[in-house]
Structure 1
């Protein structure tokens, strides 16, 4: 059985190294895992309970919920913006957390990876993403981590998918997600 992993990328920039890291996950997924990058996070309005009404949920938010509900696991790919999680990724988690206790993220295995320019690779943002996803109801794999430092120089001429160390680490994270999804 193929484990379906949905990747949510916290950067909206087309040339984002975090987008490329998600592409590396697609490229290096083991045979029993498929990874799909969810498009459309930019189209989701900020979470507001007044517009989260059954039958009239904004289309992009409903699409996100349906995509997550259809996935076996989530891979959050987070850059670090001013020392924390990007708003677009936090907003996605907020939409997925509702309705409270039964949101699409509830019980779903979640791993967080990312890259950033700094010397720690965005660990603060990734820790915040783990915390937020866990509080939202996700089954966060605390041990499944990948923080790639120095993204601007490291990936200046090499796509993360062509970096052997990154490819190996991404594969390990996906194997951990698959194991948790099949548990």
Structure 2
């Protein structure tokens, strides 16, 4: 029971701070929740598809390149946040696998979330005689050896010309070049 001048029935009153004029979700003075000193798990997306499907999809580009001297299918995918290497191909590289500081949780095409806790450094990708020394995350990939995602595309100012299946790459301090994918017009 309360007096009429204290009634909050027809007023917007925040249940968090008891002030009028807003409700809890719109509260301007949100208190920061104390969090333990544990870094959050990072999240990323990696839209995996089968090799044959990648040849038909318009928003990715695919081609075989030399990686550490071995030929492998490389997919350029602006829908992937991070660059990845298949477990199978990563094992052929005979490079040390290191633990990540934080486990990365990757959402794959099926909607499942896959934890990734390793990385492989010193992977040399030869794109038309332009070498890139990369650090990639090992994961199960469907028919690809490597997926180059936004963490590679963005710093190399790469632009996927989807209709033509061409990637225009403008790496810092180097001349720009084109990568022609399979079925390029």
**TM, length-normalised to structure 2:** 0.26
Higher share in helix: 1
Q: Whose radius of gyration is greater, 1 or 2? A: 2
Q: Which has the higher contact order (CA 8 A, sep 6+)?
A: 1
**TM, length-normalised to structure 1:** 0.26
Higher share in strand: 2
